[in-house]
Amino acid sequence: MQDSQIIRTEYSEVMKKSYIDYAMSVIIARALPDVRDGLKPVQRRTLYDMYELGIKWDRPYRKCARIVGDTMGKYHPHGDSSIYEALVVMAQEFKKGMVLVDGHGNFGSIEGDGAAAMRYTEARLAKLTQEVYLADLDKDIVNFLPNFDETEKEPEVLPVRIPNLLINGAEGIAVGMATSIPTHNLGEVIDAVKAYMKNDEISTKQLMNYVKGPDFPTGGIVVNKDALLNIYETGTGKIKIRGKVEVEEMKGGKKRLVISEIPYTMIGAGIGKFLNDVYALVEARKTGDIVDISNQSSKEGIRIVLELKKGADVENLTNMLYKKTRLEDTFGVNMLAVADGRPETMGLKKIIEHHVDFQFELATRKYKTLLAKELDKKEIQEGLIKACDVIDLIIEILRGSQSVKDAKACLTNGITENIRFKSSISKKMAAMLRFTERQATAILEMRLYKLIGLEIEALMKEHEETIKNIARYEDILNNYDSMAEVIIEDLDKIKKEYAGKRRTVVENAKEAVYEEKKIEEQEVVFLMDRFGYAKTIDQAAYERNKEAADSENKYILSCMNTGKLCVFTNTGRMHQIKVPDLPHGKFRDKGQPIDNISNYDSTQERIVYICDSEQTRYAKLLFATKQGMIKKVEGTEFQVAKRTIAATKLQEEDEVVNVQVINDNQQVVLQTKDGFFLRFGAEEVSEKKKGAVGVRGIRLKKNDELENVYLFEEGKECKVLYGEKEVTLNRLKAAKRDGTGTKSRG
């Protein structure tokens, strides 16, 4: 048995190395695109697999399930969902500057609808992808690497002839880093590449004469043009984008706002979120100008319509939408990509520089391959031309040979021993032949019809063409300007066929200034029924419906329409509600669940007391808990900005049973579940901070608990029901706090 060797290593070092290896694997092999072709591995492998399967732009579509399965089995040993998602995104014209896959079927929508399952959808390569991303793969212009199980070969990078990283952008989250590159206009980027090739000292500012800024497939307006130079120089920054809002005239002098383009960041669930935000603004009475909201978007494009009431302030409303919704949003730029095997944040010029270097590398390898082929053709053509001049001698050699080997030896080295000749002159001439191996093979394989005059003439013309090609390829390989000219010519053809108009407007727009209309301060009545539906109504409406309101609602209180309400719960928390957030309307309006307006959760807690924040500012609040603990707290302690705070400290398994306003002239009566009543003066209740537990108010018997707290003025009769018996509180014997109280016979 072989001795095993134990290597002692610090555990933290092993973890550190393993984590770094994992992080680099995610960065390089999954999340970040390569600066050369602008593709992540999953995208590159999917496109290459479609190329290998022959799913070309002019061929029938093939099932996406076939493409995904083949890619996963041959090149990308990860989940099928990641491959299909990459395939779907490459086919979505609202996400990519130029779509790379021609999808057939349901590939999702701009509003966030997902694509159909891969068994239902079909795809094929887009024409651009086939001609610009995958052309010349047979000319040895990129390195091929073994796949994960070394049964196939896959390209290290695709021979993309345009800066795809800029044109289609990129998004990816790696370990400890993320990339976010906006899309750009194909024609503008090509012009910038040409400008760089003509002058590699060109500045980023000069390049921006060609690349005006991002060009998002959703259009929109970039409003911070002045910030773009710094973004393109450093590769990081924030782009502010707005949707396009148009005003349409309607009958009767009314107008409507139509949003025809949205910020790129609103793709997907953002449209639904925008509509909800507008509804919320209307419900919260932030604006009264919007009469109706409808989403009329279709395959033809985005169309979100906001109908306005007559005389609406359109400019102020538009600014409110920019300020309060995602109609104006920020696109965070971080132009991070893999360059020379490592992640690097690059500016515009650096990306173009890497692209141009890659194009020269591709062109060099391509024309070396083409030159080698032309030189091979030249060798064979010269052999055939020479053979045509001595064709009679060659026929004599072939007829006099016993084998192909003998004939070949004669043609290449002039060996005539095993060949019968008609004359010694022929033998002497044969001994002088010195064809190359390849020429000899071509001569032996030549068909007799090639000896026809026209065929010989065609061969001579072909030879002349080959000589021209060799001279051209050698010039391209040996002369920088010639190679640059070829690359520029190629870019011009691509631009002519595929470039489109810019969709995003780039400008310096004014900051959206929105003046919020001040609510006219007035007293309203807060109503909340036993189901938790709350609303406010005018004081007059309450007076008219007082009887019905009192019988139907659990909580009723007067408050100012600009104020706040404090909601105390059994869990010891206080939730604040802004009165303007409550729906205000008619008495018979349903209202809104209080859960939707505040942090209160009716499934986890129960309301004990509701009061007006301003009215309790100078008052004191009495807190009483199930375990008999009581305290007074200054109302100012609850004047806070937070929506939710801890209103009191509770012991284990305790909860708040009562909160109410108290003054020192009152009498306090504590009533337990088992019917014990304890009366004492309010001055005996200790004043504490909200973070304190309090003092014991009543000594509880075993399994008993505090149920109710009553306050009354000395000298006034106060009766309450306990069970079926009426208890007169002011007749109870006055005692001290922390007693056991007297048992009622109710």
- Which residues lie across from 155 on neighbouring strands? 144
Residues with Cβ within 8 Å of 219's Cβ and at least 6 positions away in sequence, in order, are 244, 260, 261, 262, 503, 504, 505
Dist CA 299 CA 405 (whole Å): 71
> How far is 165 from 34, CA to CA, in rounded Å?
8
First-to-last C-alpha distance (Å) of the chain: 91
Q: How far is CA 55 from CA 49, 58, 89, 287, in A?
A: 9, 8, 18, 54
Decide: helix, strand or coil at residue 534.
strand
SS3 153: strand
Instruction: Please name the helix (run of DSSP H) or strand (run of DSSP E) that holds residue 482, with its range, or none.
Output: helix 480-498
* Assigned token pair, 599: 């942090």
Whether 120 sits among the annotated catalytic residues: the reply is: yes
Sign of CA dihedral 330, 335, 338, 343: negative
DSSP designation for 347: -
How far is residue 381's CA from residue 378's CA, in Å, rounded to a whole number? 5
Phi, psi of 635 (to 5 degrees): -60, -25
**Of these residues, 120, 133, 480, 722, which one is catalytic?**
120
* Identity of the amino acid at 560: M
Rounded-to-integer distance, Cα 229 and Cα 357, Å: 23
500: its two tokens: 């489109």
Token pair in block for residue 692: 């304190």
Does residue 99 contact residue 91 with C-beta atoms inside 8 Å?
yes
Distance CA(406)–CA(633), nearest Å, equals 118
Residue 526 carries which side chain, given as an amino acid letter? F
Give the Cα separation of 238 and 494 in Å (integer).
31
User: Active-site positions?
Assistant: 120
